[in-house]
Structure 1
Amino acid sequence: MTESAENSNENRNIDFLYEIGSLKNIPRIWQQIMGAKTANNIEHSFRVMMIALMLARLEGKGSEEKIMKMALFHDMCESRSVDIAFLHKEYVDRKEEKSQKDQLAGTVFEGDIEDLLNEYKERESIESKIVKDADNLECDLELRELEKAGSATATKLIKTHRSNVADKLFTDSAKKLWYKIYEQDPDAWHTELNRAWVRSDKFNK
């Protein structure tokens, strides 16, 4: 048993589980800008974690366990501090550090996860760089999905903003994936299989 587990409070552990469940009710802030439904916090964090694990394997660097934990928790405190865009940062003090500390206080995650999130913010370790790259790439994937669905705002953001993000990615693997995201059809994963199925003798059965 870890020290944080020994010191945790059962009620606070359950509180935390209910609190993170509420994240499914919090839309990410760019739904305001897009004018279309976008991923909620939980959906975003899940794909960030998968991208981060992919980058870790492509790079052959970093601790996969550490990367997955960091990705899973990177936006968790937004149940209290919410998600904000660059526009809102001009006016809002999110008190992100306080919300992060208070959210984890008394739970089995107090201490080590706080240290992990502080490491993420510093962007010094390879794990923190991989997770930040994954966070950015997830936004690009969703922008492509929104563009495919007909969002003119997504198309504009891709042209005017996202190319600047590509230059700021930390890892070579993330940069390669960024270009592939914009080259590849978001529907490619299933359309070829569908075509093959229709061409086969299974179609009318």
Structure 2
Amino acid sequence: MKISSRKISLRFAYHKEVTVDTKKYISLIFEAAVTKRLKRTGWQILGDNWESIGEHTFLTSVIAYFLAKTLKSDLTKVLTMSLFHDFHESRIGDADKIALDYITRDIAKANRDIFSAAAPELKEMLDEYEAKKSTEARIVYESNILALLVEVKRLVENGNTNAAEWLEANASRVKLPEARELAQGIMSGNTQDWWASIRDRLRDGFRRE
């Protein structure tokens, strides 16, 4: 049964009136949730994997944290930039490399329309990201590529023969020495390595049963 928004608001009535600023934040929170449902389109060309924009943003931010820590960069700035670097895709969608040869996306306008009311400081930070010149912007950009490598590496391990070309091509886009080391580790490692010691312990337990 469908519940009206009026009934919901009455059921969870709050004693204090929601402020205008809070309403603006809520609007952005709802829009952020859209990125969990929107898919990254490049995987359609490869014919494998279905990753949402939100999932990609999370992995990018995890990588950006460690890369920023290695480079002793501003963690707060890097993580903020990383969390919002693809937020504009809630309005204009994700476009793969082929599509970008034919279309023009106004990312600056999308970010301005999204953030001008509730968080104008983010618009300035995202302009910096799009320029790709500052250390923080490079960290986030290359973390974005490294997140892609993690996904492609898994596909290679699963037997997608076309994914190997993607892995090599995208690894060449990584320029920061510290990021290149991460890329090398991703390419030479195995996506199941993180729980190798746990597997060994479990196998030892199985033998004793």
TM score, norm. by length of structure 2: 0.84
1:56-135 to structure 2, matched below 5 A, reads 56-60=68-72, 62-107=73-118, 109=119, 111-135=120-144
Correspondence 1:118-157 to 2 at 5 A:
118-157=127-166
For residues 31 and 8 of structure 1, what CA distance do their matches in structure 2 show? 40
SS at match of 1:17: helix
| Residue deviations 1:143-202 (CA, integer Å, cap 9, x gap) | 10111122222123224x224324xx2x22101111111110111111332122211368
| Residue equivalent to 2:173 | 165
Say which one has the larger Rg.
2
Deviation, 1:10, is 3.9
Give secondary structure in 1 for the equivalent of 2:82: helix
User: Which residue does the alignment assign to 2:41?
Assistant: 29
**Match status 1:182 vs 2:187:** yes
Tell me the distance in 1 between the aligned counterparts of 2:20 and 2:141: 29
Shift, 1:19, TM fit: 1.1
Q: Which residue matches 1:3?
A: none
Normalising by the residue count of structure 1, what TM-score does the alignment of the two structures yield?
0.86
Larger relative contact order, structure 1 or 2 (CA cutoff 8 Å, min sep 6): 1
Contact 2:171–2:183, Cα closer than 8 Å, also in 1:
no
Shift of 1:9: 4.1
Gaps of 5+ in 1: 1-6
Q: Which amino acid aligns with 1:16?
A: L
The number of residue pairs the alignment matches comes to 191
The equivalent residue for 1:193 is 198
Structure 2 unaligned segments of length 5 or more: list them: 1-18
Kindly tell me: are residues 162 and 12 of structure 1, through their superposed partners in 2, closer, same or farther at Cα, counting changes over 3 Å? same
Partner SS state of residue 152, structure 1: coil
Report the equivalent of 2:11. none
- Deviation at residue 102 of structure 1 after TM alignment: 0.9
Cα distance between partner residues in 2 of 1:91 and 1:46: 29
Contact kept, 8 Å, 2:38 with 2:53, in 1: the verdict is yes
SS of residue matched to 1:86 = coil
Matched, 1:19 2:31: yes
| Contact in 2 for aligned 1:197/1:203 (Cα 8 Å) | no
Tell me what 1:4 maps to.
Answer: none
The residue number in structure 1 matching 2:53 is 41
Q: CA RMSD in A?
A: 1.9
